[in-house]
């Protein structure tokens, strides 16, 4: 049985020479939901961008048993559903339908199948019937849900979310947490929202300055306020 | 904070709104072509074209007033034809001495200017009715249907999507500037020496900085959008759904509309050409 995500000794520096990842290793089992926390600039977003080969550092990244390489880039991008922090970046099409259909269409599915996927994905996030809406006219909470639908339509094995609760009001946040709990996919979520972490994730990875500082049960981490404090986090 | 006022689309229950966007697009382009090809001086044809336009405006529920108010935005462009007033040779109506020069306004020049003005005024109305009665995504479909290159259509789509986001961003920047542009009561010993609002050069520098920051944000955003597209499998090729066939009713409207416009153009060319 392979891990859904396996990262081994990943090293990456930005073109300006700034080191962002300095030997990151971890594995995530199929169906596991893991949070990744740490201060701004810890390298969380950079790490996430490696999981579908947008950034390519030294070291080994395997997703769903396939080692990331030029040959596996296509299948890996369909297997990893990446939800970005700002839904305005993710929703780039004129209508909600076009946006949700984008992924399946590029997977080369026949049109009736794409339409069916769009309907199912929008229903899964509770946004059925918004097909012809224009992205600009949606609220932040709706945009977030539809951003998640755009990747669910690709039927990914792994969901990767970057700060999903940022900028949401309490009700939208609550709805989103419920949605994330219901989704069956393997999940890696980068966040500052430790209350959500406490509710939703059994395992938490702490990153700081480009390395994994701690990786274990969320309960243990939350019981160690000194570890949290050392990495700019607060006990919820 | 959201900008909706830029979106010209007005949702109304009217036969013009209900008509297939592709048919509207083709008819609007054909109308503009007819207007531009109708020869100079064919006033009765222009009158008929105007009456068609006004009927469509009334039928669409947008109202003549609404369309004409919007059409006034195009007035400054008519000024491009202004020199025609003086450069067309013919019977002199008016002489304007301008230093050592004399500008002679001719009757033919005035007619020609009026002609250009009417042409652009009619064309702009067609464009306004099209944009106000058709949601933008339908216009994009129409552009695809008439074989405008897909990449270009995709670029129009992205531009339209992010125009609003960008304007929102600009508004936020301006609001932030306004929020920090307070005035203080001047202490007596500095009376007259503090310059509220700063010098013109300084303010110009701030405005320039804002424009630059907006540009950088737009570049950053375009990078993030591209990454989001790559993540969902974008490979540089624009793919889209096959188009639904145009309904037979819409086809009839299309053919009838094109025939009327064709006839108008033909009669204009035969009688006045």
Give the CATH number, domain containing residue A156. Answer: 3.40.50.300
The number of folded domains in chain B is: 1
Exposed / middle / buried, residue A32 (Cβ in 10 Å: 0-12, 13-18, 19+): middle
> For residue range A6-33, what is the model confidence (pLDDT) as tens digits?
999 999 999 998 999 999 999 999 999 9
The pLDDT-based confidence of B1 (bands split at 50, 70, 90) is: very low
Taking alpha carbons only, the member of A35, A41, A31 closest to residue A194 is: A35
Q: For residues A67 and A61, is the Cβ–Cβ distance under 8 A?
A: yes
* B117 in a structural domain: yes
* B30 in a structural domain: yes
The whole domain housing B254 covers: 15-147+246-272
| Residue A50 contacts B where some CB pair is shorter than 8 Å | no
ipTM (interface predicted TM): 0.89
The reported pLDDT for the residue numbered B4 is 63
* A100 in a structural domain: yes
Q: Do A106 and B165 touch (CB under 8 A)?
A: no
Q: Considering only residues 207 to 236 of chain A, which have any Cβ-Cβ distance to chain B shorter than 8 Å?
A: none
Q: State the average pLDDT over residues A96-108.
A: 93
* A236 in a structural domain: no
In the predicted model, is pLDDT for residue B22 greater than 50?
Answer: yes
Residue with the bigger pLDDT between B199 and A210: it is: A210
Measure CB to CB from residue A103 to each of B136, B161, B233 and give the nearest one.
Answer: B233
Long-range contacts from B154-162, C-beta under 8 angstroms, 24+ separation: B154/B238, B157/A93, B157/A94, B158/A92, B158/B225, B160/A94, B160/B136, B161/A91, B161/A92, B161/A93, B161/A94, B161/A135, B161/A136, B162/A92, B162/B218, B162/B221, B162/B225
What Cα–Cα distance (Å) separates residue B87 from each residue in A52, A167, B82, B104? 65, 61, 9, 8
* A67-76, B119-128, B202-211: segment of lowest average pLDDT: B202-211
The reported pLDDT for the residue numbered A70 is 92
* A168 in a structural domain: yes
Taking alpha carbons only, the member of A5, A63, A44 closest to residue A212 is: A44
* A77 in a structural domain: yes
Q: Which residues, at least 6 apart from A60, have a Cβ–Cβ distance to it below 8 Å?
A: A6, A7, A8, A9, A10, A67, A68
* A36 in a structural domain: yes
The reported pLDDT for the residue numbered B80 is 84
The whole domain housing A147 covers: 5-230
Chain B interface with A: residues with Cβ < 8 Å: 2, 4, 7, 135-137, 140, 157-158, 160-162, 164-165, 221, 224-225, 227-235, 239-242
In the predicted model, is pLDDT for residue A53 greater than 60?
Answer: yes
Q: State the average pLDDT over residues A155-166.
A: 94
Q: State the average pLDDT over residues A62-84.
A: 93
* A235 in a structural domain: no
DSSP B8: -
* A170 in a structural domain: yes
The number of folded domains in chain A is: 1
The pLDDT-based confidence of B59 (bands split at 50, 70, 90) is: very high
Q: CA-nearest residue of chain B to A156?
A: B232
* A183 in a structural domain: yes
The reported pLDDT for the residue numbered B89 is 82
Q: CA-nearest residue of chain A to B6?
A: A136
Q: State the average pLDDT over residues B74-102.
A: 81
The reported pLDDT for the residue numbered A48 is 95
**Which tokens sit at A58?**
């030294």
Measure CB to CB from residue A106 to each of B158, B165, B239 and give the nearest one.
Answer: B239
């Amino acid at each position: 049985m392979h891990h859904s995500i396996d990262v081994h000794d990943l090293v990456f520096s930005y073109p300006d020479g700034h080191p962002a990842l300095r030997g990151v290793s971890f594995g995530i089992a199929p169906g596991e939901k893991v949070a990744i926390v740490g201060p701004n600039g810890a390298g969380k977003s950079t790490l996430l961008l490696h999981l579908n080969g947008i950034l390519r550092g030294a070291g080994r990244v395997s997703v769903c048993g396939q080692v990331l390489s030029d040959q596996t880039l296509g299948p890996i991008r369909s297997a990893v559903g990446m939800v970005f922090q700002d839904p305005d970046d993710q929703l780039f099409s004129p209508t909600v339908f076009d946006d949700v259909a984008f992924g399946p269409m590029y997977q080369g599915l026949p049109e009736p199948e794409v339409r069916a996927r769009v309907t199912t994905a929008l229903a899964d996030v509770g946004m059925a019937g918004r097909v012809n809406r224009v992205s600009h006219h949606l609220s932040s909470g709706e945009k977030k849900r539809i951003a998640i639908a755009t990747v669910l339509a690709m039927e990914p094995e792994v969901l990767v979310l970057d700060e999903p609760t940022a900028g949401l009001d309490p009700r939208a946040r609550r709805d989103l947490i419920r949605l994330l709990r219901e989704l069956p996919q393997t999940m890696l979520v980068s966040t500052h929202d430790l209350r959500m972490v406490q509710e939703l994730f059994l395992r938490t990875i702490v990153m700081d300055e480009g390395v994994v500082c701690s990786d274990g049960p969320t309960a243990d981490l939350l019981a160690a306020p000194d570890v949290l404090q050392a990495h700019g986090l607060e006990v919820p | 904070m959201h900008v909706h006022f830029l979106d010209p689309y007005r949702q109304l229950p009217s036969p013009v709104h209900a008509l297939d966007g592709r048919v509207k697009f083709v008819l609007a382009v054909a109308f503009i072509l007819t207007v531009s090809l109708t020869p100079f001086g064919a006033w009765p044809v222009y009158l008929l074209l105007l009456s068609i336009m006004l009927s469509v405006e009334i039928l669409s529920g947008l109202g003549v007033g609404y369309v004409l108010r919007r059409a006034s935005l195009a007035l400054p462009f008519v000024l491009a034809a202004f020199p025609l007033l003086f450069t067309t040779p013919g019977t002199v109506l008016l002489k304007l001495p301008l230093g050592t020069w004399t500008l002679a306004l001719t009757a033919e020049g005035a007619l020609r200017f009026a002609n250009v003005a009417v042409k652009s005024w009619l064309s702009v109305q067609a464009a306004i009715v099209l944009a106000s009665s058709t949601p933008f995504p339908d216009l994009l479909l129409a552009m695809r249907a008439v074989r405008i290159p897909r990449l270009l259509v995709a670029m129009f789509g992205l531009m339209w999507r992010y125009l609003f986001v960008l304007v929102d961003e600009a508004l936020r920047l301006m609001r932030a500037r306004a929020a920090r542009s307070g005035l203080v009561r001047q202490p007596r010993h500095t009376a007259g020496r503090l310059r509220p609002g700063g010098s013109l050069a300084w303010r110009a520098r701030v405005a320039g900085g804002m424009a630059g920051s907006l540009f950088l944000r737009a570049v950053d955003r375009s990078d993030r959008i591209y990454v989001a597209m790559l993540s969902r499998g974008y490979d540089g090729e624009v793919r889209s759904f096959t188009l639904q066939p145009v309904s037979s009713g819409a086809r009839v409207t299309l053919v009838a509309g094109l025939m009327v416009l064709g006839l108008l153009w033909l009669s204009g060319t035969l009688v006045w050409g």
